[in-house]
Amino acid sequence: MARTPIMAGNWKMNLDHLEAAHLVQSLAWNLKDASHDYSQVEVVVVPPFTDIRTVQSLVESDELSIRYGAQDVSIHDEGAYTGEISTGMLNKLGVTYVVVGHSERREYHNESNELVGQKAKKVLDAGMTPIMCCGEALEIRKAGQHVSYVLGQIDAMLANLTAEEVAKSVIAYEPIWAIGTGEVATPEDAQEVCGAIRNRISELFDGPVAEAVRIQYGGSVKSSNVREIMAKPDVDGALVGGASLKADEFTKIATYLK
């Protein structure tokens, strides 16, 4: 079964709800203008929590095919967890994807692989799809240990997931040294790690699960480098930061096949 490429824009802590409405409308308009076939390349925006209701209203009222996600989620269902957002709350807002374990959450909020795995499980239990992030820091890359490091993250994140759950998940390989730095991994770098992740999933589960799971690359993806990265066999999409904040640029990324 062929995997549908998925282009997701992680807005991080950018854009208020008014700016969000503007960006989603511009993006939808651009994609319509380009006769974008959403069944060929899925397009996802991942705004801050405060924008999600606005994005939902637009998507529903204008019957847009753009999907939307959240940048994080709690492992708790409800209660005294100040500042946290539950999977139930996101579900009610029509959220399809939830990013878990972004390197910025790992670094600034001390999130462990085990916690990220728990978050992924919560997301799946709620009927949504996790985008599970992994990736190495520069020192690890320089020491030549990036593949084993990332596979360690994968083993820990997937430890409590079933084969069916992994098959419908998305994994994002984002080398930390390439995030927001303009320093993009070469297509070969991206393929090396994405291919190793798929191999590991085939060992941990089986071939069909490995064939089904979608693996994104993230880190300084732009319209000028997306094609060569997407040409690699084990790269099924991109998790895009900075370049997803501009409608024209993200449109070019989503329509990279044209």
Question: What is the set of active-site residues?
Answer: 102, 174
x/- letters, 162..201, toward ligand 13P (CB under 6 A): ------------x----xx---------------------
Q: Is 236 in the site for ligand 13P (CB under 6 A)?
A: no
In the complex, the smallest distance separating the C-beta of residue 70 from ligand 13P, rounded to whole angstroms, is 13
Chain centroid, CA 50 distance in Å: 19
Select 229 or 239, whichever has its Cβ closest to ligand 13P: 239
Residue nearest to ligand 13P (CB): 241
Q: What is the size of the binding site for ligand 13P (CB under 6 A)?
A: 14
- Judged by CB under 6 A, the residue of 167, 241, 250, 253 near ligand 13P is 241
List CB contacts of 224: < 8 A, sequence separation 6 or more.
none
**C-alpha–C-alpha distance, residues 76 and 114, integer Å:** 15
Site for ligand 13P in 63-102 (CB under 6 A): 102
**Which contiguous run of DSSP H or E holds residue 236?**
none
x/- letters, 200..219, toward ligand 13P (CB under 6 A): ------------------xx
Q: Is 220 in the site for ligand 13P (CB under 6 A)?
A: yes
Nearest to 78 by CA among 122, 120, 13, 47: 122
Tell me the sheet residues that pair with 98: 70, 130
**Which contiguous run of DSSP H or E holds residue 227?**
helix 226-230
Q: Is 239 in the site for ligand 13P (CB under 6 A)?
A: yes
**C-alpha–C-alpha distance, residues 227 and 134, integer Å:** 22
**C-alpha–C-alpha distance, residues 168 and 145, integer Å:** 28
- Judged by CB under 6 A, the residue of 5, 6, 7, 10 near ligand 13P is 10
Select 88 or 180, whichever has its Cβ closest to ligand 13P: 180
The CA-atom distances, in angstroms, between 201 and each of 155, 164, 204 are 9, 12, 5
In the complex, the smallest distance separating the C-beta of residue 103 from ligand 13P, rounded to whole angstroms, is 7
Site for ligand 13P in 114-173 (CB under 6 A): none
First CA to last CA across the chain, in angstroms? 22
Select 75 or 240, whichever has its Cβ closest to ligand 13P: 240
User: Residue 161 half-sphere exposure, CB side, CA atoms within 13 Å?
Assistant: 33
User: Residue 252 half-sphere exposure, CB side, CA atoms within 13 Å?
Assistant: 12
Select 173 or 205, whichever has its Cβ closest to ligand 13P: 173
**Which contiguous run of DSSP H or E holds residue 144?**
none
In the complex, the smallest distance separating the C-beta of residue 63 from ligand 13P, rounded to whole angstroms, is 28
Residue whose token pair is 């393929």: 191
Using CB under 6 A as the criterion, which residues of the chain lie in contact with ligand 13P when the complex forms?
A: 10, 102, 174, 179-180, 218-221, 239-243
